[in-house]
Amino acid sequence: GKIMSFFQKLPSKLKKYFQDYFKNLNYPIWILFLVLSVGLFLLDYFTKRAAYYDTRLQDGNIIDFIPGFLSFQLVGNKGAAWGSMSGWSWFLIPVSMIASIALAINLLFRFRKFNWGMTIGIMLMLPGAVGNLIDRIGLALKAVPYEKGVIDFLRFTFWPSFPICNVADYCLSTGIVFLLIGFVFEFKKEYKLLKEEEEKEKKSLNTTETEMHDRLSQLDKKNEEGKKGDEDGKENIQS
């Protein structure tokens, strides 16, 4: 049926899509975004380990990195970003895996489909999602350095109540903001196109109505001329 037909046509459609995609791809920008995404993932990965193995951060000690603004404090987080959903590894691992795959596919193979805001958002969210996925798998396996939870160490000194987090958390949060901004611009663009289509339809409709009115007027005029001609003919006969 339709399902079988869909899967039969899928390989040729995918082949055509990828041929067109890579033929018209802006490779310098695409590679730049990939490098930035990988770089942010590596930054998150190695800063967590640096914080874990730094003896100065043991036993809850705090290091002032930027006095009055940012400090380092090592904590274990068994939940999601900002310490939420603690103990939900069974749920967070598959969610992180699905998010990582979806974001990777979009950045690799749908790069040309998005505006700048959405592209930057995806580029930032991918390392955050992959970083958190690795952390949660490590936590579930109780592997070093995750035996006490996902490593969080970034602390705002000026905002003591703000949750301690890591680079991946900031990548995700900032990426979501850019993604939402991109969605707003995309919505405005689609709304503008919709309005333009409506205006075109109105103009087309008005033009059609005007043409019909002109044609009816011409028909009425011809009918009147025909009636007048008949009347003149009758008068000539009578004469």
pLDDT, tens digit (0-9, with 9 covering 90-100), for 41-68: 999 999 999 999 999 998 889 999 999 8
* Separation CA 48–CA 84 (nearest Å): 19
- Give me the amino acid identity at 191: Y
pLDDT category at 161 given cuts 50, 70, 90 is confident
* Separation CA 179–CA 1 (nearest Å): 38
pTM: 0.76
Residue 197: pLDDT over 80? yes
What is the pLDDT averaged over residues 23-31?
94
* Separation CA 151–CA 77 (nearest Å): 6
The catalytically annotated residue of 44, 59, 64, 152 is: 152
CB 162 within 8 A of CB 73: no
* Separation CA 125–CA 120 (nearest Å): 9
Residue 141: pLDDT over 70? yes
The catalytically annotated residue of 20, 44, 59, 169 is: 169
Quickly count: other Cβ atoms within 10 Å of residue 50's Cβ: 13
C-alpha dihedral, 128 to 84 to 141 to 175, nearest 10°: -10
User: Phi, psi (5° rounding) for residue 152?
Assistant: -115, 140
What is the pLDDT averaged over residues 67-83?
79
The residue among 233 and 146 whose pLDDT is bigger is 146
Q: Does the active-site annotation cover 152?
A: yes
pLDDT category at 152 given cuts 50, 70, 90 is very high
Exposed e or buried b per residue across 71-86, where buried means at least 16 C-beta atoms within 10 angstroms of its C-beta: bbbbbebbbbbebeee
Q: How far apart are the first and last CA of the chain?
A: 81
CB 96 within 8 A of CB 129: yes
What is the pLDDT averaged over residues 191-214?
78
**DSSP tag of 165:** B
What is the pLDDT averaged over residues 209-218?
71
pLDDT category at 123 given cuts 50, 70, 90 is very high
Mean pLDDT (the chain, rounded) = 85
Quickly count: other Cβ atoms within 10 Å of residue 111's Cβ: 18
Q: Does the active-site annotation cover 54?
A: no
Q: How high is the pLDDT of residue 42? A: 97
